[in-house]
Amino acid sequence: MEHIVKLTRDGIQADLRAAAAHLGGGPVVALGFCMGGRNAFFASDPRFGFAGVIGFYGAPEIAGPYGPGPTQHAAELGAPILGLFGGADEGIPAEAVAEFGEALTAAGVPHENVTYPRAPHGFFDAGFAEHAAACEDAWKRVLGFLPGL
């Protein structure tokens, strides 16, 4: 946690640029969970060159010390987005997911946001046996998203 509080959007985006440059030469997808999911959404910005991005339970709205989120920056995004959310995630309200989708639509960003009604934040963890169906569906969607890029 001592390192997380030192993260900045500029620093994370510098890391994204470096990763994209290192992995160049074919279609590359950014995928992240939680804070990584939020940053995967930001990686949809065409300057990073990703073919698509997948975010698991990444907060799309204004959040804590990190400020405006992907919803507020939707006009800067362009690569296709797959967003996977838990409907029982107390940290990401359904309204925030809906606003994210509306902002992406308004910006013309290809996207699919899926919410699993009873799934909590972190539902893709293998330890959540009671959410196996959500995990299975999410994985199928991830695999289905990749060939379309």
Average pLDDT over residues 89-103: 97
Q: Is 33 within 8 Å of 64 (Cβ atoms)? A: no
Model confidence pLDDT, tens digit, residues 110-128: 999 999 999 999 999 988 8
**Residue 97 pLDDT > 90:** yes
> pTM of the entire structure?
0.93
C-alpha–C-alpha distance, residues 92 and 97, integer Å: 7
For the stretch 14-49, pLDDT in tens is: 998 898 889 876 789 999 999 999 999 999 999 999
From 89, 111, 131, 135, the catalytic residue: 89
Catalytic residue among 73, 111, 121, 131: 121
User: What is the number of domains present in the chain?
Assistant: 1
Domain that holds residue 85: 4-145
Note if 89 is an active site residue.
Answer: yes
> CATH number, domain at 54?
3.40.50.1820
